[in-house]
Structure 1
């Protein structure tokens, strides 16, 4: 019963993390297409808010549930190949979020607050947005591959 509860917690974290990554990318790109400074500023604010609640929250649940379930099941998380690969893929995705995506979000958020008043959207905003989208797709793809690894458990 404990194992099932921890695994459910782990899966709930996966749903929050991956679901937020995919949905945020889609609605931010949709907001960017509108090119309205007020819409862009609102979208940038929500990118940050949803990352704190759903991405960070999802990671916490994913880690607590995953390591808890592995402990209860007696799995060695450092010597079972599919668990190692799942952790590596999660860490790589997390490194992209921390090193590329979050700084781009912060930069774009600051720009958005400034251009709401002026109405002028700088070229650097669009450059940072393209960078965020490309690396966001890569970070999300790593998570999707990690899901496959955790389900398929390849040797």
Structure 2
């Protein structure tokens, strides 16, 4: 019963993390297509808010549930191949988020607050947005591959 509860917690974390990554990318790109400074500023603000609640919250639930379930099941998380691969892919995705995506979001958020008033969107905002989208897709693909590894449990 404890294992099932921890695994459920882990899966809820996966849904929150991966779901937020995919949905944020889609609606941020849709906001960019409008080229409306107010829409962009609003979308940029929500990127930060949803990352705090859903991405960080998802990671916390994912880790608590996953490591807890592994402990209860007696799995060595550092020596079971599929667990090592899953953790590695998650860590690599997390490094992209921490090193590239979050700093870009912060820069774009500052710019968006300024241009929401002036109405003039600088070229640097669009460059940062393209970079964010490319690295966001890469980070999300890593998460999806990690989910596949965790489900398939290859030897």
User: Into which bin does the TM-score normalised by the smaller protein fall?
Assistant: over 0.9
- Give the drift of 1:126: 0.3
Specify the alignment match of 1:106 in structure 2: 106
Specify the alignment match of 2:8 in structure 1: 8
The aligned runs of 1:1-155 (5 Å cut-off) are 1-155=1-155
Q: With the length of structure 1 as denominator, give the TM-score of the two structures.
A: 1.00
Runs of 4+ in 1 over 6 A off after TM superposition: none
Measured in 2, the distance between the counterparts of 1:129 and 1:26 equals 13
- Structure 2: 5+ residue runs without aligned partners? none
SS of corresponding position for 2:86: helix
Q: With the length of structure 2 as denominator, give the TM-score of the two structures.
A: 1.00
Measured in 2, the distance between the counterparts of 1:6 and 1:91 equals 21
Measured in 1, the distance between the counterparts of 2:63 and 2:14 equals 9
- Give the drift of 1:117: 1.3
Measured in 2, the distance between the counterparts of 1:44 and 1:119 equals 15
Measured in 2, the distance between the counterparts of 1:35 and 1:142 equals 29
- Give the drift of 1:22: 0.2
In the TM superposition, what whole-angstrom CA distance separates every residue of 1:13-42 from its partner, at most 9, and x where no partner exists?
A: 000000000000000000000000000000
- Give the drift of 1:98: 0.2
In the TM superposition, what whole-angstrom CA distance separates every residue of 1:91-132 from its partner, at most 9, and x where no partner exists?
A: 000000000000000000000001111110000000000000
Aligned residues: 155
- Structure 1: 5+ residue runs without aligned partners? none
